[in-house]
Amino acid sequence: MLYAMQAPLVASLLLTLVARAVAHRCPPRAAVMVLVACAVGCAVTTALVLALHLLVLVAQQPSVAAALGYDPARFAHHVPVPWQASLLAVALLAVAVVRVRLLRRRRNRALRAADDLCSRLGGQVGGVVVVDDGAEAFALPTRGGRVVVSRALLEALPAGEQAALLAHERAHLRDHHDLLRAATAWAAAIDLLLLGVPAAVRYASERWADESAAAELGGDRPLVARAVARAGLARTALQERPAWASVALAGGEGDVVRRVRALLAHRPGRGRPLLGLGAVCLALLLAAGGHAVEDTAEVLQHVRSGGQDTEHGLASVELAHQVGHRALEELVPSRG
């Protein structure tokens, strides 16, 4: 049981440590897919583990054991989880619930503001709307999506770079980058160890849109690089951050210098090795989550049986742990 509880936390920490490197050094589309999938997997399994800790903490209480008719000492023997660890996990679960509620409130407010803006701007679904304020270009995902660009920014770009900028924003809408970013934000709200992953996904999604724009323009990556650089220089920061800004996807955001360097370097591959590695890691993570679910069911079975089901209940977990130890000893022979 302890292995299943520790695995999601270790995986979340490792994902946070490698997220930036994956986003900056790997093909952007594959990087986004792997980071989002692993972040969601970490968040789901972490939530399961925290809930399991809550169950263990409640089951260890003498009053609960007396009410359900089982021996708390025998339960603690089969579920060797320190109460301090369970108490910390419950606190983290409470923090996660609060963070999820706050994120839902902010996101709902942002989506309503973006929806109102799209309604005021009008235009066709997926079309381009030109505004007079500032020097901005961004994609709004609500009401079917709109690409909003300021007249000042269009006038600052040559025709080819205008096409590159608009292709970049359309790529955000076409590939649903808003949903991928939102999934990572929800995962980070649940799992505090994933706080560095959303920034990596934002950068990688910008790179993905850069490469999509280049492909749409016949592979002219230097043209897209010039458009990104000029838009980044011309982009004006808004004096007051509007409510819809958190769901807008702006091409001039992110590490513009690094994005330009990446566009002027060699074209990235498809990232199949990274996708394969990500699939393996996700499978292992989900297996740990499944183990946690199995342990939860066996804890409940142990409680409902009054602490008498030791042959077929939690004893199977101990047997699985023994098998795991033996497998590790065979795979990693002792030195010396």
User: What is the model's pLDDT at position 199?
Assistant: 94
Please give the pLDDT value at position 183: 96
137-151, 204-218, 241-255: least confident range: 241-255
pLDDT digits (tens, 9 = 90+) for 49-98: 888 888 878 877 888 777 777 777 777 776 777 778 788 888 999 999 99
Rounded to 5 degrees, φ, ψ at 141 are -80, -10
Count CB neighbours of 331 within 10 A. 7
Q: Cα torsion for 266, 267, 268, 272, to the nearest 10°? A: -120
Between these two residues, 60 and 23, which has the higher pLDDT value?
A: 23
Please report, rounded to a whole number, the percentage of residues in the chain having pLDDT higher than 90.
34
- pLDDT attached to residue 202: 94
Q: Which residue has the higher pLDDT, 176 or 314?
A: 176
Q: Rounded distance, CA 298 to CA 310, Å?
A: 10
Cβ neighbours for 124, distance < 8 A, ≥ 6 positions apart: none
d(CA 34, CA 270): 13
Residue 33's contacts (CB-CB under 8 Å, 6 or more residues apart) are 275, 278
Confidence of residue 2 (pLDDT cuts 50, 70, 90): low
> What confidence tier does 326 reach under pLDDT thresholds 50, 70, 90?
low
The whole model's pTM is what? 0.80
**pLDDT at position 302:** 61
Q: Which of 146, 136, 134 is nearest to 172 (CA)?
A: 146
